[in-house]
A and B are shown apart, each in its own frame.
Chain A
């Protein structure tokens, strides 16, 4: 059996979970296995309703008041119990921040492998081989898991599968998993999620974005890029390290922990292209990237790969644009 777990995102099925369902359906059909979908914890009943059209053998509900809000302690305990009971060959989730927070706990509790942040699946005969990015996306690797492992945990990077491809048709059965939890199981407590007022700009509305990365080297060079943005009528944005250094405010950040943008042109300056950044901008219609490292991963998704020194190119280009 293949088991896909749905995650709640403020009332709705997380888009990564929809992609996980597609991954699960694909794997199940390739391996000739049955697919079950588990709605657990936070908002489980509503998730189950929203997933009622998804084609699956079982649509399982696992709820308990002690996991009605997320906790790593509670979720890892409940999922471990489900796995012990159902012995699925693969357990699949989207690689969300929640999954990073609790799925390794299940791996350690049950002594089973967790292959995280998978970008694609290929097949060696009837054996699935999972690929993930390593060395800051400069390389990828195929992962082999222990075939003797009763269960293998998998999480997929966003957009590894498309949520548009969900196969519909409903489920054959809707069993309820009886959750057993007691107060010793949950040591941590969590407060409601909140959004910090982003007193800044909505980068998602920008037609052109000039985005600056670590390659800018110093805060003193930021105005140089600001001038370029101004000359192009663009919003300025950045990758995470620039915000971490305090060179630009956090609301300028593009990536998994910042804004997700898809402008007409994304002009990237000195950004290497780590996964966390790329997920925030790979939907851009046109991407121009300047980097002095010919092997920078940003070039893999760029339409135009400018290999050169940004310190020379940016001022000259700005000057030309102003003419």
Chain B
């Protein structure tokens, strides 16, 4: 294991970067409420890497490659064995040095409890930098990276669309609403959430896939230390706000119907 060395050493910055990645249902998966009505039926779901997390991983790997000095990238995930194994494999195959898997079979929906579980199990690692996706496409709270940063006494920033590592600090370009941006500078240690589209993600190479098998995955049994402060009571199908007219069937029928709407109802075309 590497010693923790921050700052310029022989004019290079050796860092330890954690990337939080989450397994979430893929876009194509059908989402069904299970019999408890508190969670979804996972048996009909394909799990995949949360999209913004994969951009966060790429950003960390590009920093590692640019520094080219033994900077370490550790991919970290939490969840059940079945759902997360693909996430870790993917991270290691793309170039992460090792993985930490916090095993927790509960469908925990409280962002603060989740962050504490990360914090309790990561604090001894003394990461200089934590990257995470800006939000998960399942719970979508968008809080984990910021909560973890605060719990670990780090500076924090969200919605990073560009990063620049400097001596003892990271500059982050934040994407705000409607085309506005802002640069913030955070001293290490720092936790930064990454916006989708920040970089061009790589595919794992064959060599990477083969090499992943030899990399270390630390498995930790994650137990919640306190009672969750918020819970899902019941999931439900969103109510339709409008009276929606369904159009389906064969292509010719659909196109004829659309032409009628565009011409006669909306008068968009003549």
Contact = CB atoms under 8 A, between A and B. Distances in A.
Contacts of A205: none
B262 interface: yes
A295 B228 CA distance: 31
B contact patch SS:
mixed
Most chain B CB inside 10 Å of its own CB: which residue of A139, A214, A305: A139
Given A108-B147, A143-B230, A303-B242, A316 B235 contact: no
Interface residues of A, number: 92
A141 B248 contact: no
Interface in A27-42: none
Contact of B147 (A104, A258, A265, A275): A104
B177 A257 contact: yes
Interface string B15-36: 0000000000101101101000
A111 B111 CA distance: 11
Given A100-B158, A190-B184, 6 more contacts: A107-B112, A187-B187, A190-B183, A191-B182, A259-B178, A274-B137
Interface in A94-126: 96-98, 100-102, 104-105, 107-109, 111-117
A240 B198 CA distance: 12
Interface of A: 71-73, 76, 96-98, 100-102, 104-105, 107-109, 111-117, 129, 132-146, 149, 187-196, 198, 208, 214, 232-233, 240-241, 243-244, 246, 251, 256-260, 264-265, 272, 274-275, 286, 288, 293, 295, 297, 299-309, 312-313, 316-317, 320-321
A307 B247 contact: yes
A240 B55 CA distance: 14
Nearest to B142: A100
B159 to A, nearest CB: 6
11 contacts: A73-B155, A97-B176, A105-B150, A107-B143, A129-B233, A140-B238, A196-B181, A300-B241, A301-B242, A302-B244, A321-B262
Contacts of B232: 134, 141-144
Contacts of B196: 240-241, 244
Contact of B254 (A71, A102, A313): A313
Contacts of A191: 182-184
Contacts of B246: 305, 307
Interface in B188-232: 195-197, 200, 227-232
B103 interface: no
A312 B150 CA distance: 50
Contact of B233 (A98, A144, A293): A144
A196 B179 CA distance: 6
B150 to A, nearest CB: 4
B120 interface: no
Contacts of A193: 176, 180-182
Contacts of A198: 179
Given A144-B230, A258-B179, A312-B251, A101 B155 contact: no
A246 B238 CA distance: 32
Given A295-B30, A303-B245, A306-B254, A134 B140 contact: yes
Contacts of B255: 313, 316-317, 320
B177 to A, nearest CB: 6
B181 A188 contact: no
Contacts of A272: 27
Interface string B93-126: 0000000000000000111100100000000000
B148 to A, nearest CB: 8
Contacts of A149: 229
Given A97-B176, A191-B184, A304-B245, A139 B269 contact: no
